[in-house]
Structure 1
Amino acid sequence: MIQYNTVAGWMEFPYLTVSHGLTATYAIAYKLKDRNGEHWTARFSRFKEKRNIAEWGAATVLYKAVPALIEHLAVDVNRTIFLPALSSGETLADPNRAIPWIAKECARVCGAGYSDTSLSKNPHQKIHTIYNADGRTAELDKANYRAATMPADTFFVFDDIVTRGDTLSRIALAIHAANPNSTVYGIALAKSESVGYCPNPDNNQVPTLWNNLWEQGEQAHKEKFSKV
């Protein structure tokens, strides 16, 4: 079981199964592999399915939750850059994909920098289609993550779901290679976990405000597009 702390409403994971180069990783809630009907898990599944209504829900939460985390960590936003993780088929991040545009808006709200061109890699097979750790590691070896030198000391890498932490770790190591003495944090919508290993399988630790914000985001999407 990977332990977490509660920080500004977030689940803070000081360590993941693979945590090379990461100071900590933060997630809103668990995405439970064996309890698909759990309400946060269902929301994250809709997000993974690229349903716009879930993207609006996630964005509405993160626009409040990320600034609260930045304030708690007391980072210098003038020396901080937000970066989106890359999907399996990407060489550079597609700015129209949900995680990049959410990360960009979070940066604007927080007053931090943003780049969707400073991370690059080789395309590879989707990791969630590989069901053993060695196979996932071998596939990620093909990615060969690379980072540019950037005018910042602190970096937040945004992703949708974190499982073992291998992808975020590779991004963190690439950032460190190009930007020595930097600090790298992971930001994810969810930590993938099984009920048997999860300390709170009902996600009762999530602030009520965040539940309400997700609902507000989905409702705003319905109202906007039902009129089109």
Structure 2
Amino acid sequence: MNYSDLEYEIFARQFILKEYSEEAITKLKDQKISIIGLGGIGCPLSQYLISSGIKNLTIFDGDKIEKNNLNRQMLYSIDDIGKNKAHISKNKLLKTNPNSNIEAYAKNINENNLNLLYGSSVVIDTTDSWHTSKIINKYCVINSIKYMFSSAVGNHIQVCFFPNKTGEHICLNCLFPNKDDVDLPRCETVGISAIAAGIAGLVTAQKTINLLLNFNNENNILTLINVMMAEINRIKVKNNKDCLLNKY
């Protein structure tokens, strides 16, 4: 399985679980996960993927750490203000498992660097930019890469996984309208609960493990969570015949 003695100690309690067989552990080790955005969702998401045995992680964020990040972005502290999120995240994550392979890009994903996502087992999009989500979604559809969309605003969370299987088109563009932009609420205008961001990261991490190890069928399932009311709804997303990406 190529885990070191140190890693066996780190993951000892988890490896007791019957779900984490030798085959499952090896499968986690061999995956390459890309996380776009290291904010309120991306921080706990990356922490718990590394803590669950994921060894190959590629992370993207061009932003610098600000004081208003600290209440929900737990990888950062007051000493990190002004530093790049991706670089600080890598350093902090390696303190959990020093043998992890983490590539950190101090840049945001755009039309000119999407190729950095090629070869990913799963691309997880935690950005708060609808334009960025659209181009990531399209790239993953065209290249048949598994895509997870995760967002949180106010006290509400939405997470959806799209397997992007050839011949079975359902994507983020099926779920939302074919528009250049949508008027979505944003954290800086309507606010966000620190707890909602944290739960979104944990739910996204669990869904990622579920799909990698076939624990549960997460294909095209939109999970909606009202954190304040502790309400969870799961909705099956269907193909939208008007989706502009149907041709791929």
TM-score for the superposition, normalised by structure 2: 0.30
> Would you tell me which structure has more helix in proportion to its own residues?
1
Kindly indicate whether structure 1 or structure 2 has the higher relative contact order, using CA contacts under 8 Å at least 6 residues apart.
Answer: 1
Based on CA coordinates, which of the two structures has the bigger radius of gyration?
A: 2
TM-score for the superposition, normalised by structure 1: 0.31
